[in-house]
Chain A
Amino acid sequence: MHCKQFSRRNILKGTAALTFSAVAVRVAAAPAAQAVTPALIEAARKEGKLAWYTVMDLPVAEKMAKAFEAKYPGIAVRVERSGSERNFQRIAQEYASNIHAVDVINSADAAHFIVWKRDGWLAPYVPEEVARHYPAEHRDPDGCFATSRVWLSSLGYNTNLVKPEDAPKSFADLLDPKWIGKMVKGHPAYSGTIMTATFQTARDLGWGYFEKLAQQKIMQVQSSTDPPKKLALGERAVMADGNDYNLVQLKESGRPVEVVYPTEGTPLIVGPNGIFKAAPNPNAARLFHSWLLSLEMQQFLIDFTGQHSTHELVKEKPGRTPLSKIKLMKDDPAGVEAASEEIKARYSKIFRI
């Protein structure tokens, strides 16, 4: 009597299906790479619109949507922004009710793409530039998704409230009693960035770290875009997790914030982009997907939003810390996929929220 995708038995069945489909899929070759042709543009223009479910910081996502609309006039992009975990739930609920509203999906939780691909919800489509310029580990072998951006869940502080020499350098520093009541952090049941970061941090430092952090009277917000904004407002002095790229943007626009990459390693977030098979605007979706992964937009992501790209031709912006200079934690979407329910349950038990 309950909806199908809620039952635990079905999830187990799904896991079994993954093993089989992975084998089956190996046999089939990856789909051929597709160029942006005038025919595709024309077909997309006929559809005239697309819905982009994304988790990017809202002003960034809207700016990109406007850039797309400027390049391809007559195709309106509707940005549907929420947290990755929210979007995941929303899409599951919409699909269960036979609502196919989403065309293109961009998530901060790469584990979701494992689930959607396994369920057969994603459409294989390989833009030419992806085939040519993206490293193999950043594109799905079956062409269902590719890494559209990379960023970190870092620490940070407000430079008006904290002197550089007093600022925390590591996760361990956050447990100092002097930070009681002064920190802000995001929530893994809302944000894919925080989910991924919580997985990596708990794996590398142990859950004991979070148990101690929970004693520090943190301010609990939802989105990973919010802790940097709370720092910029001056509402909290230190952020325990959240998007480093928001801090970079805020800092470059003159706000008193500073990024800290913790000495234990910084959680690495990989954000794939993909197209849904049942997309109501399939051509516009293909065009958008190709455009987002093109050199032009990948360079835009670096220059104007402070994120990173896996496109081999992009150039780092001078004055920024290159990814190679930062000690990173290892990302593991399959690990997150297996542990996400447990992480949510454990987190809400420890932080009581």
Chain B
Amino acid sequence: MSVLTSTAAERRPARIDFSRPILYGFAAILIVLIVLPLSWLLLYSVTDRAGSLTVENFIRLFSESAFLDPLITTFIIATSSSFLCCAVAAPMGWLVARTDLPMSHVIRALVTASFVTPPFLGAIAWELLAAPNSGLLNKIYRVVTGAPQDEHLFNIYSLTGIIFVISCYTFPYVFVLVANALDRTPGELEDASSILGGKRWYTARRITIPLVLPALIAGALIAFLQAMTLFGSPAILALPAGFHTMTTKIWSLFQYPPKPELAAAASLPLLVLTIILLRAEHMILGRRGYSVVGGKYGTPRLIPLGRGRWPAFALCILVLLNPVFLPYAALLNAAFAPVASHFLTFSTFTLHNIEFVLFELSATKLALRNTVILGTATATIGLLIALVIAYVTARKAVTGHRLLGFLATAPVAIPGIVLGVGLFLSYTRPPFVLYGTLWILLIAFLTISLPSAYQQLQAAFRNIHPELEDASRILGATRLQSLRQITAPLLRTSVIATWCFIFVGVMRELSAAIILFTSETKVISVLIYDLNESGDLGAISVIGIAMLLITFAVVIMVNRIPGFGVTSVRLRT
């Protein structure tokens, strides 16, 4: 079957006139999007201020402790977060996918909630909860145990604190991969093992674990990358503790007097490491095909937990307290309490912060407007580009479609802050002076959201068999007509979902925006970061809650669309 359709598809392009212009046009767009910033980045990293070639930047990078320490810190944070995420997400993924855990859809929804919570907002909420002296949890601890004023249970301004907070908002990546892999694992293989006398643990060790291992390792790599390239959480928690990570160091190099050449050089290790790890992920996941050889299986059989059902559920909720319940409660408390570190009571309840944000804070309106404009524009344009490229590659409509597919996925390997530095270097000079306009942010957000949009739509196209289009064309429709009448209606849900998730992704983007914004192109995430630097926690809580409400409205809208699994989408920060 597949052989037949692919030859049919390959025979067609010869007759299509517009295929070449499309290929060249889109390849050109993608090359400008990706290659231009990376070229400037490379060039800057090997030049000095006078513009002559030098390796001085790299010598400084790898000899001065001001750069080496953040590099080591980043490595420790990324490795530990990755382990922690796997340790939490793998058992949870198994419970949700393979056991009769009660209310597993609730658990999935809560994981989605932690997934879409902006990590920088989570970090600020955790400041409110676990700052050593004013943190609400530490206050409770002191009241309960009668410990003296200067004793504390948690200190969020520490290496462990940062690892914990990063893991809170990174573990969903691992969870999704593991749960999806387990959903796909055929139960018959486990049954066969049991029938042949394998004990439960033996079956797990020889069948289940090897089948999920590739997904788990891929999840570990993704978690590592996320933790390594995150900007907001370390900037909020590591700087007060007195140390830098690579991302905060790169950002600090833009303070006056700016040192763009050092920032470029410092960005390269992140870029190289990301590419290496993504190659590794690809190699590992590339092998997963063996698990589905042999046609279609029934849905996996759920393992009864017996009396352990509710304790297991409680355990999951206990884990989800950390990314969802506690931080949201802390934000709500800070939004309505007169002092962010005081517990809200009926007598102290105040709308002061809401009034301030709505009626006094003059940046709110502008930032909100910019965010909505950018979200809408990025989602719409990104969707169109992804749609065309996904169609071309899924239907192999143009020779050279592989190149387009590669280019559309390539930005995955560019961490947000690195892209920010590259775009800054590219568009602050003639002929394209886009700095100071929303265009530069649009380009950044488009580049960042393209890979996941493309992958999602490509998968959607694969699910629609070309036979349907072929039938339409045999009956006399042109290619565009059959696209409009046959393919488009079938794709509608995926298209809407992709649009919404690009939009949500734009709302929580901070690491590229922090390099690229100007006073008139500020977005909500940057505004929140600004407010954190001046210590205005009440205002942050109000804006943060508003941001979460918009995000959830969008996510719920997507969930209403039948047949779409929210958790299959990858968001980046």
User: Which A residues contact B (CB, under 8 angstroms)?
Assistant: 1-3, 6-8, 51, 53, 57-59, 62-63, 65-66, 76-83, 85-86, 88-90, 92-94, 96-99, 101-102, 161, 182, 189-190, 217-223, 225-226, 229-230, 232-237, 255, 341, 344, 348-349, 351-353
- CB-contact partner of B533 in A76, A182, A222, under 8 A: A222
Q: Which residues from chain B contact A353 at a C-beta distance below 8 Å?
A: 239, 242-244
| A97 and B519 in contact, given A2-B51, A161-B149, A226-B534 (Cβ under 8 angstroms) | no
Q: Which residues from chain A contact B363 at a C-beta distance below 8 Å?
A: 78-81
A182 touches B535 (CB 8 A): no
- Which of A1, A86, A351 counts the most chain B CB atoms within 10 A? A1
Q: Which residues from chain A contact B340 at a C-beta distance below 8 Å?
A: 233
- Interchain CA distance A223-B256 in the complex, whole Å: 16
In this assembly, does B362 line the interface, its C-beta being within 8 Å of a C-beta of chain A? yes
- Interchain CA distance A219-B240 in the complex, whole Å: 5
- Interchain CA distance A182-B151 in the complex, whole Å: 11
Q: Which residues from chain A contact B428 at a C-beta distance below 8 Å?
A: 3, 93, 96-97
- Interchain CA distance A66-B363 in the complex, whole Å: 13
In this assembly, does B380 line the interface, its C-beta being within 8 Å of a C-beta of chain A? no
CB distance from A220 to the nearest CB of B (A): 5
- CB-contact partner of B242 in A79, A82, A98, A220, under 8 A: A220
- CB-contact partner of A222 in B239, B241, B256, B356, under 8 A: B239
Listed A/B pairs (11) with beta-carbon separation below 8 Å? A6-B49, A62-B361, A82-B533, A89-B255, A97-B433, A101-B520, A221-B535, A235-B133, A348-B66, A349-B66, A351-B242
A83 touches B533 (CB 8 A): yes
B534 touches A97 (CB 8 A): no
A234 touches B534 (CB 8 A): no
CB distance from A47 to the nearest CB of B (A): 16
- Give how many A-B residue pairs fall within 8 Å (CB-CB): 152
B256 touches A88 (CB 8 A): yes
Q: Supply 15 further A-B pairs (C-beta < 8 A) apart from A82-B530, A222-B533, A353-B239.
A: A1-B51, A2-B51, A6-B49, A78-B366, A82-B533, A90-B519, A97-B435, A99-B435, A102-B519, A190-B255, A235-B131, A235-B132, A235-B341, A341-B257, A344-B255
Q: Which residues from chain B contact A77 at a C-beta distance below 8 Å?
A: 362
In this assembly, does B311 line the interface, its C-beta being within 8 Å of a C-beta of chain A? no
- Interchain CA distance A90-B131 in the complex, whole Å: 31
Q: Which residues from chain B contact A234 at a C-beta distance below 8 Å?
A: 133-134, 341
In this assembly, does B258 line the interface, its C-beta being within 8 Å of a C-beta of chain A? yes
CB distance from A214 to the nearest CB of B (A): 9
CB distance from A232 to the nearest CB of B (A): 6
- Interchain CA distance A38-B254 in the complex, whole Å: 44
In this assembly, does B17 line the interface, its C-beta being within 8 Å of a C-beta of chain A? no
| A86 and B255 in contact, given A81-B534, A101-B519, A234-B134 (Cβ under 8 angstroms) | yes
Q: Which residues from chain A contact B360 at a C-beta distance below 8 Å?
A: 59, 62-63, 66
Q: Which 4 A-B pairs rank lowest in CB-CB distance, beginning with the nearest? A: A226-B535, A89-B256, A99-B436, A229-B535
CB distance from B443 to the nearest CB of A (A): 15
CB distance from B338 to the nearest CB of A (A): 9
B361 touches A8 (CB 8 A): no
B242 touches A352 (CB 8 A): yes
A225 touches B240 (CB 8 A): no
| A98 and B433 in contact, given A79-B362, A225-B535, A235-B134 (Cβ under 8 angstroms) | yes
CB distance from A329 to the nearest CB of B (A): 24
Q: How many residues of B contact A (CB 8 A)?
A: 52
Q: Which residues from chain A contact B242 at a C-beta distance below 8 Å?
A: 217-218, 220, 351-353
In this assembly, does B252 line the interface, its C-beta being within 8 Å of a C-beta of chain A? yes
Residues facing A in B305-354 (CB within 8 A) are 339-341
CB distance from B75 to the nearest CB of A (A): 18
- Interchain CA distance A6-B518 in the complex, whole Å: 18
Q: Which residues from chain B contact A81 at a C-beta distance below 8 Å?
A: 363, 530, 534
In this assembly, does B55 line the interface, its C-beta being within 8 Å of a C-beta of chain A? no
Q: Which residues from chain A contact B254 at a C-beta distance below 8 Å?
A: 89
CB distance from B416 to the nearest CB of A (A): 19
- Interchain CA distance A225-B518 in the complex, whole Å: 22
| A220 and B240 in contact, given A8-B49, A233-B340, A234-B133 (Cβ under 8 angstroms) | yes
CB distance from A301 to the nearest CB of B (A): 17
CB distance from A282 to the nearest CB of B (A): 18
Residue on A nearest B427 in the bound complex, by CB: A97
In this assembly, does B531 line the interface, its C-beta being within 8 Å of a C-beta of chain A? yes
- Which of A57, A85, A230, A235 counts the most chain B CB atoms within 10 A? A235
- Mask, B45-84, CB within 8 Å of A = 1, is 0010111000000000000001001000000000000000
- Interchain CA distance A222-B534 in the complex, whole Å: 7
Q: Which residues from chain A contact B10 at a C-beta distance below 8 Å?
A: none
- Interchain CA distance A97-B427 in the complex, whole Å: 9
B49 touches A190 (CB 8 A): no
CB distance from A91 to the nearest CB of B (A): 9
In this assembly, does B157 line the interface, its C-beta being within 8 Å of a C-beta of chain A? yes
A6 touches B258 (CB 8 A): yes
A233 touches B49 (CB 8 A): no
Q: Which residues from chain B contact A92 at a C-beta distance below 8 Å?
A: 256
CB distance from B223 to the nearest CB of A (A): 27
- Which of B51, B157, B240, B241 counts the most chain A CB atoms within 10 A? B240
In this assembly, does B260 line the interface, its C-beta being within 8 Å of a C-beta of chain A? yes
B535 touches A223 (CB 8 A): yes
A233 touches B518 (CB 8 A): no
CB distance from B214 to the nearest CB of A (A): 40
- Interchain CA distance A258-B451 in the complex, whole Å: 54
Q: Which residues from chain B contact A7 at a C-beta distance below 8 Å?
A: 49-50
CB distance from B261 to the nearest CB of A (A): 8
Q: Which residues from chain B contact A59 at a C-beta distance below 8 Å?
A: 356, 360, 536
Q: Which residues from chain B contact A221 at a C-beta distance below 8 Å?
A: 239-240, 533, 535
Q: Which residues from chain A contact B149 at a C-beta distance below 8 Å?
A: 161
B536 touches A58 (CB 8 A): yes
Q: Which residues from chain B contact A80 at a C-beta distance below 8 Å?
A: 363, 519
| A352 and B339 in contact, given A6-B257, A89-B255, A90-B518 (Cβ under 8 angstroms) | no
Q: Which residues from chain A contact B243 at a C-beta distance below 8 Å?
A: 352-353
- Interchain CA distance A341-B257 in the complex, whole Å: 8
Residue on B nearest A234 in the bound complex, by CB: B134
- Interchain CA distance A233-B256 in the complex, whole Å: 31
CB distance from A119 to the nearest CB of B (A): 14
Q: Which residues from chain B contact A98 at a C-beta distance below 8 Å?
A: 433
CB distance from B467 to the nearest CB of A (A): 53
Residue on A nearest B428 in the bound complex, by CB: A97
A225 touches B66 (CB 8 A): no
CB distance from B153 to the nearest CB of A (A): 15
